[in-house]
Each structure stands twice: as C-alpha cells, then as structure tokens.
Amino acid sequence: MSLDTFYLQFQGLVLPRETQSVDSLNFVHEFKFEDDDVLAVTFPKSGTVWMQEILPLILNDGDLTPIQTIPNWDRTPWLEETRLSLVVDQLKPPRGLVTHFHYDLMPASFHQSKAKVIYVMRNPKDVIVSFYYFHQMAGFLEDPGTFDEFLDKFLDGKLAFGKWTDHVKSWKNAKLGDRIMFISFEEMKEDLPAAVRRMSTFLGKNLSEEVIHKIAEHCSFDAMKNNPMSNFSLVPKVYMDSDKSQFLRKGVAGDWRKHFTSEQLSRFRSIISKDLEGESFTLPWSLD
C-alpha cells in the first residue's frame, strides 16, 4: 500500500487520514480559542492520553464524571482531529484540548487569546519505542518495518507529525511567557501528585492535597488501563489491535534500553544533537 493510503500531506508534515482531513484542518484554522482554554501539547507517544485524563480532573476540581462517562477523544479532544467539530459544542468551559501540532500551525485565535499551554515532553528514545509498537497495533498507520528502519524514519522526520526536534524547538522557542509550562513524562512518572500540584498551580487552581492525591490515583497507569473510557477498548480491532500491542503498553521510563543497539544509539545521538545545535534550551535527559 502506498503512503498516500495512510497519510495526507499538510505543511510539510504527514498526518494520518483516519484522524485528520482537509475539513478538520480547515476547522482548526477557523477555531476560536477562549481565554480559559487549556491546551496540552505533545509529540505523539509523549503522554497525550495521560493529559486527557489529568486535565479534566484538575479543571473540574477532581470530579470523576468526565473520565468515567466520556471517551478520552471526546472528553479532551485533539485540536487537529475530525472529532473536534462533532463535539466542540458539548465541551463545557474551561475546555481542555490536546494537540500534536507544532507551534507555527496554531490558528490566529490562539495568539489573540490567553489560553494556557502545558507542553509534555518525553525522552525521545522512549517515544521511538512507544511509537514503534503503536504502528504495529494501529491499522491506520503504515507498517513500521524493522526497528532499525523505523528509527531512520523517525530521525528523518518521515513519520506522522514530522521531526521530534522540530516539534520541541517550535514550542521551546515560542514566546509565550507565563502562558506555557513544560513538564516531562518522566517527572510525572516519578511523582504524579507533585506533577498534578505543579500543573494545578500553573492553571490557577487551588486544589486541596486530598483532591490532588485523588487525581493522581485515578490517573495512574493501572487505573487508566482499567478504565474503558481511556484504554481504547471501545475502538474496533481493525483500527487498534490490542492483540498486537496495547495502547497503554508499559507506561515506564527507560524501555529504550531493551530496544537500542549501541550503533543505533550513536546514530540517534549524532542526528539529534546536530538538529539541536545552537539551541539555548536544555533537555531534561541525556542523549546517551
């Protein structure tokens, strides 16, 4: 099957046809951001569905109703996906949204608004591994081939949403001042209550310790794996085949160690460090 079967081209990126369309991309262009919107930005496989669980709980003071009754894709929709136009009128303010878009693809209304951004980044080596397994189970993505071939596609920016380094650079260099906070997957994994506390403070929510711990408990990997509204068990097998790999697969930091050879690691290190040459920001992990 040709790549056109799976992807459409948009502003130099390939995007999955199953979830994006010309109409959905036009819809984003016209989308009206509100000042109290909160946008979680991620490169794929960096903790998007985790944020789809955490954000509504923070914004609703720990009320579990949204995560127990609404599938994640309608509860905290992707800005760029076709579902948004279908559910946008049902979203109650303050609205939580997620996106994989680079900063320069944000619509005009985003820049005119005071909408806040939480950028979640994950060690790119774990992103590659997670993305590799996701390509095996997602019927709407091209076959990943071998891990070695997949690594090259990732480093060349040939996968959906392009180069990881371009994504990070675009948001790290965006001049958003106190509208943006950065957090890592690893920080969330290390101490979820502390991460929830930091996010709620950023969002101006003064949550009690009891609510913070309740949120962390309901957003643990095991809780989400058992939540049919969050574990993609509602999705037909033809789109996501959990016999091949689970969406909520391992949920750990450092799984890359079981997948990279030393040659692949040095190829990764040399390309990523070249891509980031001259950047003034630092990353929370070593490239080694």
Q: At 35, is the secondary structure helix, strand, or coil? A: coil
CB 280 to ligand A3P: min, Å? 26
Q: At 241, is the secondary structure helix, strand, or coil? A: coil
Candidates 29, 100, 135, 218; catalytic one: 100
Closer Cβ to ligand A3P, 202 or 256, answer by number: 256
CB 247 to ligand A3P: min, Å? 7
Instruction: Say how many C-beta atoms besides its own lie within 10 A of residue 210's C-beta.
Output: 9
Evaluate whether 50 touches 219 at the Cβ level (below 8 Å): yes
Binding range to ligand A3P, per CB under 6 A, among 17-25, 217-225, 233-241, 258-266:
217-225
Give yes or no for residue 47 binding ligand A3P (CB under 6 A).
Answer: yes
In Å, how far are 71, 149, 219, 252 from 227, measured between CA atoms?
9, 34, 10, 18
Instruction: Figure out which of the listed residues 44, 107, 139, 157 binds ligand A3P, where binding follows CB under 6 A.
Output: 44
Separation of alpha carbons 148 and 111, rounded Å: 39
100 is annotated as an active-site residue: yes
Burial of 62 (0-12, 13-18, 19+ CB in 10 A): buried
Instruction: Figure out which of the listed residues 64, 235, 248, 287 binds ligand A3P, where binding follows CB under 6 A.
Output: 248
Separation of alpha carbons 82 and 89, rounded Å: 14
Tokens representing residue 246 in the block:
């689970």
The footprint of ligand A3P on this chain (CB under 6 A) covers a number of residues equal to 21
Binding range to ligand A3P, per CB under 6 A, among 15-23, 46-54, 155-163, 276-284:
46-54
Give yes or no for residue 48 binding ligand A3P (CB under 6 A).
Answer: yes
Separation of alpha carbons 59 and 52, rounded Å: 11
CB 274 to ligand A3P: min, Å? 25
Instruction: Figure out which of the listed residues 13, 15, 25, 49 binds ligand A3P, where binding follows CB under 6 A.
Output: 49
Give yes or no for residue 255 binding ligand A3P (CB under 6 A).
Answer: yes
Binding range to ligand A3P, per CB under 6 A, among 26-34, 145-153, 176-184, 246-254:
246-254
Give yes or no for residue 96 binding ligand A3P (CB under 6 A).
Answer: no
Burial of 167 (0-12, 13-18, 19+ CB in 10 A): buried
Give yes or no for residue 79 binding ligand A3P (CB under 6 A).
Answer: no
Separation of alpha carbons 140 and 268, rounded Å: 26
Closer Cβ to ligand A3P, 147 or 221, answer by number: 221
Tokens representing residue 169 in the block:
């650079």
Which run of H or of E encompasses 194? helix 192-202
Closer Cβ to ligand A3P, 47 or 56, answer by number: 47
CB 32 to ligand A3P: min, Å? 26
Separation of alpha carbons 82 and 199, rounded Å: 28
Binding range to ligand A3P, per CB under 6 A, among 38-46, 57-65, 78-86, 162-170:
38-46
Q: At 153, is the secondary structure helix, strand, or coil? A: helix
Give yes or no for residue 50 binding ligand A3P (CB under 6 A).
Answer: yes
Across the beta sheet with 180-184, what order do the strands follow? 96-99, 38-42, 116-121, 180-184
Query: Which residues are at the interface with ligand A3P (CB under 6 A)?
Result: 42, 44-50, 126, 130, 133, 189, 219-221, 224, 248-251, 255
Active site residues: 100
